Amino acid sequence: MDIPNTIIGTIFFLVLIAPIVIVNKRILKRRQQFVNKINEFAAEDQKKVIEFDTWTDNTIIGISDDNQMLYFLRNTADYNLKTKVAISDIKYCFIKEDKESNRINALEFVIELNSSKDSIVLEFFKVDNKNFIIGEEMRIAKKWNTKLVEGIPKSKVLLYSF
C-alpha cells in the first residue's frame, strides 16, 4: 500500500470534489424549500402539488394532484410572483419569446382566461446580471404548454347533414 499516493488522493478529493458536493447540497436544499413553499401555497386550497418543475432555484411551476389548479412561484431580485390558476378557466396558453439577433432576452408563458380579458404572464427567463444564458426554461415552458393545451376542453363541433 502506497501511503503518499493515498494521502495525495484524499487531498485531491477534498480540494476538488468536496466543494462540488457542498454546493449541490445547498442547491437541492434551496429547491426543496421552494417545493415546500408551493405546497404551502396549494394547501390554502386543500390541495397538494405532486407534479412540478423547478429551475434556477428561484422558480417553480406545478399542478395539483387532482389536475384542477396550476401554481407558479418566482422570486428574483426584480420579479416576484406567486399565482394560481384554475385549469378549467384556461382558454388558451402560449410561449412568448423576446429575441434580439437570435438571442433570447426573455421567455414568458402567457395564459388567457375564460373569466377575464386580462392575460396572466409567467416569466420563465429574463436576461440580467446573474442569468444571461437560457437553460432548461424553454424545455420546461414547452412541456407545460403542451400539458395545459391538452387539458383545455375542445369546443364541441356539431355536424349536421341536410
- 62-91 burial, b at 16+ Cβ within 10 Å, e below that, comes to bbbeeeebbbbbbeeeeeeeeebbebeebe
Shortest CA distance to 151 belongs to which of 78, 89, 71? 89
Its pTM stands at: 0.78
47, pLDDT greater than 80: yes
Q: What is the mean pLDDT of residues 79-106?
A: 86
Residue 162: band (very low, low, confident or very high) from pLDDT cuts 50, 70, 90: very low
pLDDT at 1: 60
β-strands 90-100, 80-86 pairing: unpaired
| Strand partners for 117 | none
141, pLDDT greater than 70: yes
